Amino acid sequence: MSYEFKLPDIGEGLHEAEIIKWFVSVGDKVKQDELIAEIQTDKAVVEMTTPVAGKIIALAGEEGDVVKVGEMLITLERETNFSQNVHTKKSEQTQLNNEKRSPKRVIAAPVVRKRARELGIDITKILGSAKGGRITIEDLEEFIREKDKKETLGLSIGSHLEAFTSKEDERIPLKGLRKRIAEKMVQSKYTAPHVSGLDEFDVTKLVLLRKQLLEQLDSNIKLTYLPFIIKAVTKALKEHPYFNATLNEENNEIILKKRYNIGIAIATKQGLVVPVIKHADQKSIVEIAVELEELSRKAHEQKLTLSDMQDGTFTITSTGMRGGWFATPIINYPEVAIFGVHAIKRRPVVVDDEIVIRDMMGVSITFDHRVIDGEPSGRFMESIAKVLENPELLMLDVK
């Protein structure tokens, strides 16, 4: 008896995943819970195992293909025993429940639905412009016009790209983590109206404090500036809650998060990943430093789990010691802001009408202008500056 294993929703709102690597082929016999594939979700590479034993008779596609949630991942001729039957029935019931989930509610007159069918339009993909979200004939026509524009632009760009390439050019497939990063960046940039603000902080005291702490701490603890920055940002988020939020467009709600889970952008050879420091407000600087080192190690070894990268409420990114003085990072959507920290450089500045040498750090804030305006972003930056320029304030916190 054949059994079809469908791709389950293994993460927060997962819609599809890319097949990175098959560990099996058609004709192979597999045991229950045996590893069959690696897939790339929006957040991480996940190992997939088969819920039943049997002989594989079909695979979803080649490496690099995309499978949607609910679609077949593998089909096999299964071997059955009592325990497997119980497990299989649970799996089948879960898939049945997923399939019975109600689709998006569509409000449209019969004539509009009929016209959508004639045009071959999936009406659930259209946002109605009339009262209550009702879809009109004009909405269908606008959808067609936008689709034609995109197709024309795509053909134009494609023809130009071909004209400027040659046989000597190297072609690298856009897949895996790099493809996911590209998709997420486009989604963020074209969904949230980005605005960036730039500033510089005098972190001379912070540089001195870190040096003093390094002399006292265990040599195995890698204390960078990032734990101090995370604590300063967390304090600022509590003072300015709209930066620790998301926008629910469907319900027209701004959701202010009451937890402080700070995502940290880490550059790896495979691309950018964003593991999360959970409940950063409840951890000490040393605890954050130890956790950061562990997450960084897992990131570079490609061992981050979905749990490591889920439920972030705000993100910090850095261009590193070799980075430029300023940058305008892209928001880690659906968050509403991202804080950028850049190189610390010794520069001449004016203090009390005198030119002195200070340790200055370039910083930036990029925010979603639908939720946050320019004036609040300035106050948010001032709150961070107050702590980083006077790091002794952090010593007042037990955590």
Q: Which residues have a catalytic role annotated? A: 369
- Neighbouring CB atoms inside 10 A of 99's CB total 9
In 217-375, DSSP assigns E strands to 245-248, 253-256, 262-264, 266-267, 272-273, 276-277, 314-318, 337-351, 354-368
| Rounded-to-integer distance, Cα 105 and Cα 369, Å | 29
Alpha-carbon distance of 53 to 74, in angstroms, equals 12
Ramachandran angles phi, psi of 59, nearest 5°? -115, 155
Report the relative pairing of strands 35-40 and 16-22 from DSSP bridges.
Answer: antiparallel
Sheet strand arrangement including 35-40:
45-49, 35-40, 16-22, 66-68
Distance CA 239, CA 242 (A): 9
What six digits make up the tokens of 139? 């909405």
Distance CA 33, CA 122 (A): 37
User: In sequence order, which ranges of the chain are alpha helices (DSSP H)?
Assistant: 82-99, 110-119, 137-163, 176-191, 204-216, 226-239, 285-300, 306-309, 374-388
CA distance 223 to 219: 9
Let me know: does 334 contact 301? Beta carbons within 8 Å.
no
DSSP code, position 35: E
Distance CA 246, CA 300 (A): 29
Nearest Cα neighbor of 17 from 146, 177, 143 is: 177
Q: Determine how β-strand 54-59 pairs with β-strand 29-30.
A: antiparallel
- Among 173, 186, 190, 155, residue whose Cα is nearest residue 18: 173
Give Cβ neighbours of residue 117 (< 8 Å, ≥ 6 apart): none
Query: For residue 152, how far is the Cα from the chain centroid?
Result: 30
- 134-to-117, 129, 242, 253, 312 alpha-carbon distances in Å: 17, 6, 31, 20, 34
